[in-house]
Amino acid sequence: MSGLKKVFIKTYGCQMNVYDSERMVEALGGQGYVETNRAEDADMILLNTCHIREKAAEKVYSELGRLKPLKQINPDLKIGVTGCVAQAEGEEIMRRMPVVDLVLGPQSYHRLPEHARELAEGRKAVDTEFPAEDKFTELKSRPLTRRAPAAFLTVQEGCDKFCAFCVVPYTRGAENSRPATAVLAEAQGLVDAGVREITLLGQNVNAYHGHDRGLAGLVRDLAAIDGLERIRYTTSHPNDMDDALIAAHGDCAKLMPYLHLPVQSGSDRILKAMNRKHSAEQYLRLIERIRAARPDIMLSSDFIVGFPGETDADHQASLDLIEAVGYGASFSFKYSARPGTPAAEKAPVADDVMDHRLHALQALIARQQRAVQESMVGREVGVLFEKTGRMAGQIVGKSDYLHAVYAKGDKALIGQVCRVRITESGPNSLGGELVGSS
Ligand code: 5AD
Ligand code: SF4
* 336 close to ligand 1 (CB < 6 Angstrom): yes
- Contact indicator for 61, 26 with CB cutoff of 8 Å: no
Q: What are phi and psi of 296, to 5 degrees?
A: -90, 10
Structural domains of the chain in order of their starting residue, each with its CATH number = 5-127 (3.40.50.12160), 146-372 (3.80.30.20), 380-437 (2.40.50.140)
User: Maximum distance among all alpha carbons in the chain?
Assistant: 65
pLDDT band at 1 (very low <50, low <70, confident <90, very high): very low
Residue 16 CA: nearest ligand 2 atom is: 4
**Residue nearest atom 16 in ligand 1 by C-alpha distance:** 52
**Residue nearest atom 4 in ligand 2 by C-alpha distance:** 14
* 262 close to ligand 1 (CB < 6 Angstrom): yes
Residue 334 CA: nearest ligand 1 atom is: 2
Q: Which amino acid is at 222?
A: L
Q: Could you give the CA distance from residue 128 to residue 111 in angstroms, rounded to a whole number?
A: 11
Measure 320 CA to ligand 1 centroid, in angstroms: 20
Q: What percent of the chain has pLDDT over 70?
A: 99
* The pLDDT of residue 313 is above 80: yes
Ligand whose nearest atom lies closest to the CA of 338: 1
Q: What percent of the chain has pLDDT over 90?
A: 93
For residue 436, the model assigns a pLDDT of 61
Average predicted confidence (pLDDT) for the chain: 95
* The pLDDT of residue 146 is above 90: no
DSSP state of 127: E
Nearest to 263 by CA among 243, 283, 281: 283
Q: Could you give the CA distance from residue 409 to residue 412 in angstroms, rounded to a whole number?
A: 8
For residue 141, the model assigns a pLDDT of 82
pLDDT tens by residue, 81-98? 999 999 999 999 999 999
pLDDT tens by residue, 349-377? 999 999 999 999 999 999 999 999 999 99
Ligand whose nearest atom lies closest to the CA of 305: 1
For residue 427, the model assigns a pLDDT of 87
pLDDT tens by residue, 23-42? 999 999 988 999 999 999 99
* The pLDDT of residue 437 is above 70: no
Q: What is the CB < 6 Å shell around ligand 2?
A: 13-14, 16-17, 50-52, 83-84, 167-168, 171-172, 203
pLDDT tens by residue, 187-217? 999 999 999 999 999 999 999 999 999 999 9
pLDDT tens by residue, 405-425? 999 999 999 999 999 999 999
pTM score of the predicted model: 0.95
* The pLDDT of residue 2 is above 60: no
Measure 166 CA to ligand 1 centroid, in angstroms: 6
